[in-house]
Amino acid sequence: MNTEILGIIAMFLLTLALAIPLGKYISKVYGMEKTWLDFIFNPLEKLFFKLSGVNPAEEMNWKQHMKALLTINLIWFVLGMIILMTMGSLPLNPDGNPSMSADLAFNTAISFVVNCNLQHYSGETGISYLGQFYLMFLQFVSAATGMAAAVVVFRAFRDKTTTELGNFYTYFMKSCTRILLPLSFVVAALLAFQGTPMTFEGKDSITTLQGDVQEVSRGPAAGFVAIKHIGTNGGGFFGTNGAHPLENPTYFTNMLEMWAQMIIPFAMIFAFGYFIKRKKFSWMIFGVMTIGFLALAIPNVIGEMQGNPMIEKMGIDTSLGAMEGKETRIGAAATGYWSIATTVISTGSVNSMHDSTMPLSGMNELLAMMINSFYGGVGVGILNFFVFIILAVFISGLMVGRTPEFLGKKVEAREMKIAMIIALMHPFLILVGTALTAAMPEYGTATLNNPGFHGLSEMLYEFTSASANNGSGFEGLGDNTVWWNVSTGIVLILARFLPIIGPVAIAGLLAQKKYIPESDGTLRTDTGTFGVVTLTVIVIIAALAFFPVLALGPIAEYFTIY
Amino acid sequence: MKNNLIKGIRMTVVLVVLFTVIYPLSVWAVAQLAPNNGKGEIVSYKQTKGYANIGQSFTKDEYFWGRPSAVDYNAAGSGASNKGASNEEYLAVVQGRIDTFLLKNPSVKKSEIPVDLVTASGSGLDPNISVASAKIQIVRIQKARNIDPEKLNTLIDANTEQPLLEMFGPAKINVLKLNIALDQLK
């Protein structure tokens, strides 16, 4: 079989094979059970809690969780603004890169706090190593924030009736120390041996074989690239992200980074099942997500391998596929696969330029972010999916004429209102943002890199990426302007915290309710039938909300070249 | 709020130390065992050196050419064209590259030109080309250097990097390494 296709299959299977044991481990970590790493982490965490003045055993209700979460995120944002706006004159800046302007620092600090990593600067010229280190810190803690929020939901369905949902700081700290740190360290070490630099030295200047002078940016990239994927952050150390041959030097690193970004989103699904002791429920979720993922990924792999018909018409050999914006060592197949993995999961790292992918591939990348819950980002993916489950439970309940129930809890008007607001906010932010920008040509059209339908897609992609907290882009867009920095910055905040607060609130409210034991009349949520209903709800919401704008962008572009 | 603020600040300080001092220093320590102590893998030629993973610009007839670059192989500012598949202006650029290639390689038929030789890479620094892209340049290089084409064929085969474990991903050639080997021929 074609080695490029085999590479993709291996990536998927390796992720799945390791996600199940990791899910079990994660469930134990949050369940405060014994694990084999206790001998290091028990004393370490004890010290960290002591230094932080936190009592890890103190129970919180859902509101206390959210207050703690929002407060610490605010601290990170303020500190980020300070560092990014002064780093030019701080240490660890061998290349002499400047500080950021206020609007760019706002966008960047927000973007990394919310686990999005939309980057309106370029790594080589726009940030110092100190700045990179702080962003790397944010990559760890923003991922841990998402995981801690997901665990609140896990807890809400484990106990029969309760308001006590564990301690935010404990979940957060354990996510950092016991999950993100060890995985990142292993990945970083492997990357370093494959050729990703980990040095404090600045640019090197060399003479090329042909006699020209070439400057080569380096830096402490291996540590950064590891957590960027493990935490589904996606922000590149260098400007071209995972396409850069120092961030992603070989086909092996490409497989490793692909594995790294999918492993925790996969594992969290299984962790949920282990944690609430309903393994079948995990497989239902995993099945729906995988069908959605494959329905988007397979066309992209095929489309990118087939190549650009406009170039084929010129009469050359296009058997390698659509190579504009792609790297030879990775190839069209693995690039097409990555383009969907990184967009269904909210990583947003790229190993090719999405702006140059085929029109329908671009559409699938957009759809992946518009749906934003096939696997989804670390922690938050399962929260997004949870909203769709609640909607599916409600619709199924109406169809059979019973009060909707989910895992023994009645879903009533209050929970439904929250779920609807969260589900509709995402299209609202994307469509209103794009429409506003399109209505102001001096802020919108003037920043485009491509004319016509594709130009609209560039604007649409930027807002979709911001609202999905994804961080990839149609990078031709000249997005370092006050308008883009501020508008996407605001979208980022809303699209991060409301979809965390919403599901946690629903779970908190359900947890307080009386537990109704399962009977013959109970709607079973761990069956294939329920999976189909959930998938249908997702598809209907996405299609109704986004089909018109997709028709104006990528679909229209498709018909101009085929 | 105040209670959370104090706890949050203290925990932030602890984790800043963990993630921006201890973590990177540990990775850095491990990287000391990696190629060139984690400063980027080096290949040397004559009295000088190049980065194995960073492509260089080759324009002379006697060298194998790499892929077009949107940033002219500026390794201090990576970048791509970001042109859409339907962009007329971009398609004209590709057509121009095809014409130039045919002009410099008159023995090559248009239908043989591999697409990676006329499309810009994602990073602008792609160190590799496909095997077909190397083979198609043999005639030009043979004329410019006046050497046996069979030797060039062998050189390409010797420099072909097979898929990972011969199973995963594409085969490819590192242009810089190939050109260094070419200079060392004779």
pLDDT digits (tens, 9 = 90+) for A464-498: 999 999 999 999 999 999 999 999 999 999 999 99
The alpha-carbon gap from A314 to the nearest alpha carbon of chain B, in Å, equals 7
**Does B186 have pLDDT greater than 70?**
no
Structural tokens at position A495: 């699209």
Segment (H or E) for A290: helix A279-306
pLDDT digits (tens, 9 = 90+) for A400-417: 888 888 998 999 999 999
End-to-end Cα separation, chain B, in angstroms: 76
- Average pLDDT of the residues in B1-19: 94
Whether B115 has its CB under 8 Å from any CB of chain A: the answer is yes
Q: Total structural domains in chain B?
A: 2
Per-residue model confidence (pLDDT) at position A384 = 94
Distance CA B55, CA B93 (A): 21
Among the residue ranges A171-175, A317-321, B33-37, the one predicted with the least confidence is: B33-37
Whether A473 has its CB under 8 Å from any CB of chain B: the answer is no
Nearest by CB to residue A209, choosing from B7, B16, B176, is B176
pLDDT digits (tens, 9 = 90+) for B99-142: 999 999 999 999 999 999 999 999 999 999 999 999 999 999 99
List all residues of chain A from 86 to 125 with a beta carbon under 8 Å from chain B.
95, 122, 124-125
Per-residue model confidence (pLDDT) at position B35 = 86
The verdict on B5 and B59 lying in the same domain is no
Q: Do B27 and A198 touch (CB under 8 A)?
A: yes
Instruction: Please provide the average confidence, as pLDDT, over all residues in chain A.
Output: 94
The verdict on B15 and B107 lying in the same domain is no
Q: Are A326 and B122 in contact (CB under 8 A)?
A: yes
pLDDT band, very low/low/confident/very high, at B48 (cuts 50, 70, 90): confident
The verdict on B83 and B163 lying in the same domain is yes
The verdict on B25 and B93 lying in the same domain is no
**ipTM of the assembly?**
0.95
Q: Do B82 and A449 touch (CB under 8 A)?
A: yes
The verdict on B8 and B60 lying in the same domain is no
User: How is A310-377 classified by DSSP, letter by letter?
Assistant: HHHTTTSB-TT---TT--TTTHHHHHHHHHHHHHHSS----SS-GGGS-HHHHHHHHHHHHH--SS-S
pTM: 0.95
- Average pLDDT of the residues in A422-442: 95
**Does A1 have pLDDT greater than 70?**
no
pLDDT band, very low/low/confident/very high, at B47 (cuts 50, 70, 90): confident
Segment (H or E) for B174: strand B172-174
Whether B107 has its CB under 8 Å from any CB of chain A: the answer is no
The verdict on B17 and B84 lying in the same domain is no
- Residues in chain B with CB shorter than 8 Å from the CB of A342 are none
Whether A58 has its CB under 8 Å from any CB of chain B: the answer is no
Per-residue model confidence (pLDDT) at position A403 = 82
Residues 6+ apart with CB under 8 A from B132: A317, B112, B114
- Average pLDDT of the residues in A276-299: 96
Per-residue model confidence (pLDDT) at position A522 = 82
Q: Do A140 and B167 touch (CB under 8 A)?
A: no
The verdict on B98 and B157 lying in the same domain is yes
Structural tokens at position A112: 């990394």
Report, in angstroms and rounded to the nearest whole number, the Rg of chain A calculated over CA atoms. Answer: 23
Per-residue model confidence (pLDDT) at position B42 = 93
* DSSP-based three-state secondary structure for A215: strand
Distance CA A280, CA B164 (A): 36
Structural tokens at position A454: 């594709």
Tell me which residue range forms the domain holding B27: 1-33
**Does A38 have pLDDT greater than 90?**
yes
The verdict on B129 and B74 lying in the same domain is yes
The verdict on B63 and B125 lying in the same domain is yes
Distance CA A398, CA B142 (A): 76
The verdict on B94 and B4 lying in the same domain is no
- Residues in chain B with CB shorter than 8 Å from the CB of A352 are 122
**Does A242 have pLDDT greater than 90?**
yes
Per-residue model confidence (pLDDT) at position A159 = 84
Q: Do A209 and B45 touch (CB under 8 A)?
A: yes
The verdict on B12 and B87 lying in the same domain is no
The verdict on B157 and B175 lying in the same domain is yes
pLDDT digits (tens, 9 = 90+) for A120-165: 999 999 999 999 999 999 999 999 999 999 999 999 999 888 889 9
**Does B179 have pLDDT greater than 90?**
yes
